[in-house]
């Protein structure tokens, strides 16, 4: 039976994490080893953590971000003994066949580096949140809306240009070769960079429509329109563009990026979200200055 390390990072979301672990432990025909890293939660771990079979648990004592937390989790096991690594958000649940299907697809396709299942909204389980994607270079965003509903998904696995860090499976050896996630990105876009690095290594990314993950979107970050989400997505988008685009492409993207920022400066207050404007422009400034890392002062 194949062994799969499931990397999980928790921050003040113990109940969601428990539900996630309960779901992966129901996986069929694979041996799942939960690797749980607590990223500086304010409360002590509940009793159930130490009661989970085969769990490896570690407290960092501080917030290392999504990237650092997953890299710490990967360092806690011997990747020679556990050949498969499944990066999974702690605010998700998976169906019993998902992990096995992803492993089998990697076994069938030695050219594949990463495989991902479709990810649905927990509160709207027929609506797709992410199912692969394609990079729009001049907008520096991965389009993830090719399959908006469950019924629109392809019948068979196919190649795609992106795998969300919410749920991505790979060989443990590849995770090590890639160097894990870029920790200076901290939160958001680190999966975009890993997807691009996977292609640079000559590997493919595959979507397996037979898997299924339900996602409480941005639960840990406070929601899609929280200051944390706005700051890190907007900052890291520009940081990624600085690394990936040519000078001409970056000039075009910068014009687009600034135009979007100006528009949002007016639309946020109109939606009673004026507090986001500060963090939007802090993200722009830090992106232009090439500042990376964790939370800037005042953001929480």
Here the tokens at position 294 are 């964790």
Mean pLDDT, to the nearest integer, of 85-113?
98
Q: What pLDDT sits at residue 145?
A: 76
Closest among 241, 229, 242 to 283, alpha carbons compared: 229
Mean pLDDT, to the nearest integer, of 124-148?
88
pLDDT band, very low/low/confident/very high, at 144 (cuts 50, 70, 90)? confident
Length of the chain: 300
| pTM for this prediction | 0.95
Q: Which long-range contacts (CB under 8 A, 24 or more apart) does 199-204 make?
A: 199/161, 201/113, 201/174, 201/177, 203/111, 203/112, 203/113, 203/114, 203/174, 204/109, 204/111, 204/112, 204/113, 204/159
CB 257 within 8 A of CB 139: no
pLDDT: which is higher, 219 or 49? 49
What is the average pLDDT score of the chain? 95
pLDDT band, very low/low/confident/very high, at 142 (cuts 50, 70, 90)? confident
Mean pLDDT, to the nearest integer, of 8-13?
96
Whether residue 165 is predicted with pLDDT greater than 80 in this model: the reply is yes
φ, ψ dihedrals at 288, nearest 5°: -65, -35
Q: What pLDDT sits at residue 220?
A: 58
29-60 per-position pLDDT tens digit = 999 999 999 999 999 999 999 999 899 999 99
**Gyration radius from the chain CA atoms:** 19
Give the percent of the chain with pLDDT over 90: 92
The domain segmentation of the chain, as residue ranges, is 2-215, 227-289
Tell me the CA end-to-end span of the chain in Å, nearest whole number: 43
Mean pLDDT, to the nearest integer, of 235-264?
96
Whether residue 16 is predicted with pLDDT greater than 60 in this model: the reply is yes
**Whole-number Cα distances in Å, 290 to 146, 186, 189, 241, 283:** 32, 14, 15, 11, 10
Could you give the CA distance from residue 35 to residue 24 in angstroms, rounded to a whole number?
Answer: 12
Q: What pLDDT sits at residue 135?
A: 84
Whether residue 219 is predicted with pLDDT greater than 70 in this model: the reply is no
Here the tokens at position 222 are 């406070």
Sign of CA dihedral 181, 183, 188, 193: negative
Mean pLDDT, to the nearest integer, of 85-107?
98
Mean pLDDT, to the nearest integer, of 148-170?
96
**CATH code of the region 2-215:** 3.90.550.10
């Amino acid at each position: 039976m194949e062994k799969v390390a499931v990397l999980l990072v928790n921050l003040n979301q113990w109940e969601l994490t428990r539900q996630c672990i309960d779901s992966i432990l129901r996986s069929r025909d694979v041996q799942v080893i939960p690797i749980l890293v607590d990223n500086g939660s304010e409360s002590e771990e509940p009793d159930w953590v130490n009661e989970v079979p085969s769990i490896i648990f570690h407290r960092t004592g501080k917030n290392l971000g999504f990237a650092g937390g997953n890299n710490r989790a990967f360092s806690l096991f011997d990747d020679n003994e556990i050949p498969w690594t499944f990066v999974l958000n702690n605010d998700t649940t998976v169906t019993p066949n998902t992990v096995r299907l992803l492993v089998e697809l990697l076994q069938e396709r030695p050219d594949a580096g990463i495989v991902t299942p479709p990810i649905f909204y927990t509160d709207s389980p027929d609506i797709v949140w992410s199912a692969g994607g394609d990079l729009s270079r001049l907008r520096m965003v991965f389009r993830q809306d090719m399959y908006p509903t469950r019924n629109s998904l392809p019948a068979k696995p196919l190649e795609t240009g992106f795998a969300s860090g919410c749920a991505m499976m790979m060989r443990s050896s590849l995770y090590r070769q890639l160097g894990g996630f870029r920790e200076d990105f901290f939160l958001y876009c680190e999966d975009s960079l890993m997807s691009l690095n996977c292609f640079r290594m000559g590997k493919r990314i595959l979507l397996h429509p037979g898997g299924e993950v339900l996602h409480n979107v941005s639960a840990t970050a406070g929601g899609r329109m929280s200051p944390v989400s706005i700051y890190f997505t907007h900052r890291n988008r520009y940081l990624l563009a600085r690394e990936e685009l040519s000078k001409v492409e970056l000039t075009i993207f910068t014009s687009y990026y600034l135009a979007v920022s100006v528009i949002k400066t007016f639309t946020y207050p109109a939606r009673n979200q004026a507090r986001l404007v500060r963090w939007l422009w802090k993200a722009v400034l830090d992106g232009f200055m090439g500042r990376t890392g964790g939370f800037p002062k005042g953001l929480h």
